[in-house]
Structure 1
Amino acid sequence: MRELKILVVVLFFTAVVYWGVEPFAHSQMHPHVAPADFAFKDLGTNDKKGNASKGAETFLSAGCTGCHGVASQGMPSPMDDAAASASFGVVPPDLSNAGAIYDKHFLSALIKDPTKALKVEHKFNETRPHPMIAFYGLGGDLDQEVADIVAYLQSIAPIAPLSDKQVFQDACGRCHDMKYDKAMSHSDKAALTAYMGTLPPDLSIMIRAKSDEYLSTFINNPQKQLAGTSMPRVGLTEKAQNQVISYMEKVGDRKKAEREDLGYKLIGYMVLFTLLAFAWKVKIWREVH
């Protein structure tokens, strides 16, 4: 009976720590933030229905190919990586897959006002403009022209699903290394450091350092988790963002499934061992008494 009372006391204080102290400590170390917003409500919406054919013409007339390549359409990047890094601080993305991995509302907002869409207003302003020039239109309806460009990007997006690694490379690979998978960023490190204020971290074990919940919010809106960071909002669709996190998990936490499976076996072993130990204790003390 005495042992049972001790067990109850231990369980009570364990429960107090687990359900009382630990959640409070976690809330102080990791304040709650709103979940990822894949509708990008803060950017508004463009209700215009885009025309892909007109969008192709507008895309070329607006001079987008002066910075961006569209390899799938036979339009290579106008600069090599070194020249692009020196000019912009980071290599501009190839837009072949943009219509597949980025949200259309984000793309619309990005074309019209890159600084706002990327949530880097604290870093870029009139005296230090963002490397991507805002599109002010070609003289017609601005929202319609933007909708047409987005429709064009969606029309050239690949029909076949992209691999997790490909989505990561398109969305993150221009700034971040993934050394565990021997994937290095295309941008010059010195130029990138000057542009960002610090060298973006290697993401090989970021999934271990941060939870997938943290990464989901951070990628969708870095300012929620790290106010003042130079990292821009990426603007991925929910599916694409999940692919990025999945790739990071495959590279940085390859043993997760094995570890979780072993955890259940260990718990089972401990339960069985406890029962056997208790039965042995009862037997020994029965003989003593």
Structure 2
Amino acid sequence: MKELKILAVVIFFTAVVYFGVEPFAHSQMHPHVAPADFAFKDLGATEKKGDAAKGAETFLSAGCIGCHGVAAANMPAPMDNASASATFGVVPPDLSSAGAIYDKNFLAALIKEPTKALKVEHKFNETRPHPMIQFFGLGGDLDQEVADIVAYLQSIAPASIDDKKVFADACQRCHDMKYDKLMSTTDKTALMAYMGTTPPDLSVMIRSRGNEYLTTFINNPQKQLAGTSMPRVGLTEKAQNQVVAYMDKVGDRKKAERESLGYKLIAYMLVFTLLAYAWKVKIWKQVH
């Protein structure tokens, strides 16, 4: 009976720490932030219905291929990675998959106002313009022209993309993934000057930050790290989940094995506890 009272006291104080102290400590170390917004409400909705055929013409007339390659449409990048790094600070992305992995509202806003869409207005201004030139239209309805470009990008995008490819298209221009032998396509010196710091290797980021943090951070870095140079990525919820899944697969390869071992360890400790208790009862019977 005495042992049960001691156990009850231990359970009580453990519960106080777990349900009282731990949540408070967590709230101080990890302040709450609003959840990821995959509707990109701050950018407004794209109400115009785009025409892909017209969008192809507008895309060419707007001069987008002066910076971007579109391998899916047999349009190679106009510069090699070294030249693009030196010119822009970061290699402009190939847009073959843009219509599939980026949200349409984000794409429309990005075309019209890059710094606002990317949430880097604190970094780029009139004295230091953003490398991506703002699109002012070709003389017609600006919103319609933008909607047409977005429709064109969606029309050429692949129906399905694996997790690694989504990561490469969305993140590899700046970040390494050394555990999977993926290196940034941008020259490190140019990237350092462009970002103000060298973007981190993401091989173990899933283990150091966790899924919840990354989900919010990728969707809007300013929520987690105000003033950061990292732009908002603008991925759809599906694409962002693929990026996190890839990071999880590469950075925590032993996760399934570790979780499986954890259950086995708990089972072992339960059996060991029962045996220890039975042995204790037997010994104390002999003593009394």
TM range (shorter): over 0.9
| Structural mapping, 1:189-204, within 5 Å | 189-204=188-203
Q: CA deviation at 1:134?
A: 0.7
TM-score by length of 1: 0.99
In structure 2, the partner of 1:215 is: 214
For residues 107 and 87 of structure 1, what CA distance do their matches in structure 2 show? 23
Query: What residue ranges of structure 2 are gaps of 5+ in the alignment?
Result: none
In structure 2, the partner of 1:52 is: 52
Q: CA deviation at 1:10?
A: 0.8
In structure 2, the partner of 1:158 is: 158
Letter in 2 for 1:131: P
Q: CA deviation at 1:280?
A: 1.1
Letter in 1 for 2:283: I
| Structural mapping, 1:1-289, within 5 Å | 1-159=1-159, 161-289=160-288
Q: CA deviation at 1:6?
A: 1.0
Q: How many residues align?
A: 288
Q: CA deviation at 1:37?
A: 0.6
Q: CA deviation at 1:127?
A: 1.1
For residues 146 and 282 of structure 1, what CA distance do their matches in structure 2 show? 79
For residues 3 and 101 of structure 1, what CA distance do their matches in structure 2 show? 59
Letter in 1 for 2:150: V
Q: CA deviation at 1:220?
A: 0.3
For residues 247 and 15 of structure 2, what CA distance do their matches in structure 1 show? 34
TM-score by length of 2: 0.99
Q: Secondary structure at the match of 2:269?
A: helix
For residues 15 and 280 of structure 1, what CA distance do their matches in structure 2 show? 28
Letter in 1 for 2:91: V
Q: CA deviation at 1:60?
A: 0.3
Q: CA deviation at 1:284?
A: 1.0
Q: Deviations over 1:98-150 (max 9, x none)?
A: 00100000000000000000001110111111100110100110000000000
The percent identity for this pair of structures is 82
Q: Secondary structure at the match of 2:138?
A: coil
Q: CA deviation at 1:288?
A: 1.1
Q: CA deviation at 1:271?
A: 1.1
Q: CA deviation at 1:13?
A: 0.7
Q: CA deviation at 1:31?
A: 0.3
For residues 214 and 79 of structure 2, what CA distance do their matches in structure 1 show? 32
Q: CA deviation at 1:287?
A: 1.7
For residues 255 and 35 of structure 1, what CA distance do their matches in structure 2 show? 28
Q: CA deviation at 1:283?
A: 1.3
Letter in 2 for 1:139: G
For residues 196 and 139 of structure 1, what CA distance do their matches in structure 2 show? 34
Q: Deviations over 1:223-249 (max 9, x none)?
A: 000000000000000110011011111
For residues 162 and 139 of structure 2, what CA distance do their matches in structure 1 show? 39
Q: Deviations over 1:248-271 (max 9, x none)?
A: 111110000110111111111111
For residues 31 and 264 of structure 1, what CA distance do their matches in structure 2 show? 31
Q: Secondary structure at the match of 2:119?
A: coil
Tell me which stretches of 4 or more aligned residues in structure 1 moved more than 3 Å: none
